[in-house]
């Protein structure tokens, strides 16, 4: 799983969603905390697609990305993205490296609100819920 996908996933347990205040600026069930096993993070090179990153960037949650990157000790991101990010190819490239090339292969995702964990195996997170959580 890439950090891009992580940047859009929240905990979908019904009781959690109901109390997490999804519409707020900072919902409590997002972002999920990444607990990788040692060596569970892989860097896989991928072709840089400037247009795609540009189109995606305004949809990213910068706060969440910043928090995740510093928790995983991958990168220290600036407080806020540069104003003219659309023209800043070097910046877009660094975003691409962060959200497209970092893969969480083994580990777990943990909800900070309800504590539910979702295992990640072979790079595929298991977001299946039990019947009583729907």
* Binding-site ranges for other proteins (CB under 8 A): 1-2, 4-5, 7-12, 17, 29-30, 46, 49, 51-52, 55-56, 59, 61, 122-129, 131, 134
Residue 2 DSSP symbol: B
| Residue 77 contacts residue 63 (beta carbons within 8 Å) | no
Minimum distance, C-beta of residue 10 to other proteins, in the bound complex (Å): 4
Nearer to other proteins, 1 or 69 (CB): 1
* Local structure of 91: helix, strand or coil: helix
CA trace torsion 125, 45, 86, 54 (10° rounding): -40
Nearer to other proteins, 16 or 77 (CB): 16
Minimum distance, C-beta of residue 91 to other proteins, in the bound complex (Å): 18
Residues, the chain: 134
Minimum distance, C-beta of residue 44 to other proteins, in the bound complex (Å): 9
């Amino acid at each position: 799983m890439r950090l891009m996908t992580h940047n859009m996933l929240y905990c979908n347990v019904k009781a959690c969603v109901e109390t997490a205040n999804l519409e707020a600026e900072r919902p409590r069930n997002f972002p999920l905390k990444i607990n990788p096993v040692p060596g569970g993070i892989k860097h896989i090179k991928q072709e840089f697609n400037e247009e795609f990153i540009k189109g995606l960037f305004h949809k990213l949650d910068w706060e969440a990305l910043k928090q995740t990157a510093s928790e995983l000790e991958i990168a220290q991101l600036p407080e806020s993205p540069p104003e003219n990010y659309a023209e800043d190819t070097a910046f877009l490239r660094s975003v691409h490296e962060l959200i497209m090339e970092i893969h969480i292969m083994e580990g777990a995702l943990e909800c900070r609100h309800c504590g539910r964990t979702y295992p990640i195996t072979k790079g595929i997170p298991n977001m299946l819920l039990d019947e009583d959580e729907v």
